[in-house]
Amino acid sequence: MSDTPAGPTREVHIVRVCGVDRDRIVDRAATEEPLEVRLHDRPFAVLMRTPGADRELAAGFLFAERVLKSADDLGTIEHCTDPRQQPQSSQSSRSTQSGPAVSARSAVASSNVVNVTLAHGSDDAVERLLAGRRQVTGNSSCGLCGRVTIESLKTDAAPIDAAWSLRPAVLAALPDRLRTRQTVFDETGGLHAAGLFTPDGELADIAEDVGRHNAVDKIIGRALMRDALPLSNHVLCVSGRTSYEIVQKAVLAGIPIVAAVSAPSSLAIDLAREFGVTLVGFARGDTFNIYAHDGRIAR
């Protein structure tokens, strides 16, 4: 483990093979590290993610988990400063300028823990949230692994009825516009991206992460923290395929159109059809497939 807080990429020494030639070179890899999300200082979940926008990721994750239902539910969200994360020697030492000295390794540990407090979260309410939930370790590919079911969504989200439409040429251009803004992907080739676009194709927000769903959580969490939900006048474009979890997050955030450069899963299609989401896949060049609610894509 590095002795400094991680960034989105890390140097790695590799052997590059080209025919019969081998060269030892320095490359860059996308960083993947665990983020522990605490609720009122108690462990709630561990997410595997690319460091960066951790507060937004935690907010988006808790929104999808329905711990947060609006910006009014969020009290504070901050990286952990729990002294238990610090070595004993650093707790007793003092700095004349900045208080307790904190080792670099302790800073790394704290940067991988986010603590969230609810605005109206009593001890009993937090206890019920923790008791009614299994501990989740989310890897960078599984998302919520189906924790929020279609049946539970029916009581928590209304079908999307946005009446505006998107021109086909605008939709077809979104993947390329997203790709040109993937700065970390350019360095590593190992990150997914999610982009939030306006109906005229302007990029409103972007996030990159080793997990597709994490990138979506970062965007939705950022909107939640700005009290900008629902995102009913936006299009979500994601790299890779569209899973059930991504459509579920779009439904909760009120996003009416979801587009991807690859295929959707069957459950993603079912969910989009049931909740009024226009679902587009294989958006490459000037072609794409519409799997649900084609009326929002203008003829």
Query: Residue 276, Cβ neighbours under 10 Å: how many?
Result: 16
Same domain, 146 and 226: no
Interior angle at CA 228, CA 278 and CA 172, nearest 5: 35
Q: How many domains does the chain have?
A: 2
Percent of the chain with pLDDT over 70: 79
Q: How confident is the model at residue 109 (pLDDT cuts 50, 70, 90)?
A: low
Same domain, 292 and 172: yes
Same domain, 92 and 195: no
Residues 60, 249 contacting (CB under 8 angstroms):
yes
pLDDT, tens only, 287-296? 999 999 999 9
Same domain, 137 and 44: yes
Same domain, 88 and 197: no
CATH number, domain of 213, equals 3.40.140.10
CATH number, domain of 75, equals 3.10.20.10
Taking 70 as the threshold, does the pLDDT of residue 20 lie above it? Answer: yes
Higher-scoring residue by pLDDT: 216, 128: 216
C-alpha to C-alpha distance for 53 and 48, rounded to whole angstroms: 13
pLDDT, tens only, 246-274? 999 999 999 999 999 999 999 999 999 99
Same domain, 106 and 173: no
Check residue 218 and give its pLDDT. 97
Q: Which domain holds residue 146?
A: 33-150
C-alpha to C-alpha distance for 264 and 252, rounded to whole angstroms: 18
Peptide bond into 230 cis (omega under 30): yes
In a domain, residue 159? The reply is no
In a domain, residue 7? The reply is no
User: Mean pLDDT of all residues in the chain?
Assistant: 83
Check residue 155 and give its pLDDT. 67
- Give CA 284 to chain center in angstroms: 23
Residue closest to 294 by CA, chosen among 166, 169, 177, 170: 166
Structure tokens at 251: 């439904």
DSSP per position, the chain = --SS---SEEEEEEEEEETTEEEEEEEEEE--EEEEEEETTEEEEEEEE-SSSHHHHHHHHHHHTTS--SGGGEEEEEE---GGGS-HHHHH-EETTTEE---HHHHHHHHTEEEEEETT--HHHHHHHHHTS--EEE-TTTTTTT-S-HHHHHTT-PPP-----B-HHHHHHHHHHHHHT-HHHHHHS--EEEEEE-TTS-EEEEEEESSHHHHHHHHHHHHHHTT----TT-EEEESS-B-HHHHHHHHHHT--EEEESSPBPHHHHHHHHHHT-EEEEEEETTEEEEEE-GGGB--
Same domain, 116 and 186: no
pLDDT, tens only, 47-87? 999 999 999 999 999 999 889 999 999 999 999 865 555 43
Give the type of residue at 284. R
Catalytic residues: 142
pLDDT, tens only, 179-211? 888 776 656 666 889 999 999 999 999 999 988
At which residue do the structure tokens 């790695």 appear?
12
* Residue 259, C-beta contacts closer than 8 angstroms, at least 6 positions apart: 171, 174, 175, 235, 236, 237, 238, 280, 281, 283, 288
In a domain, residue 14? The reply is no
Percent of the chain with pLDDT over 90: 56
In a domain, residue 28? The reply is no
Same domain, 69 and 176: no
C-alpha to C-alpha distance for 255 and 173, rounded to whole angstroms: 19
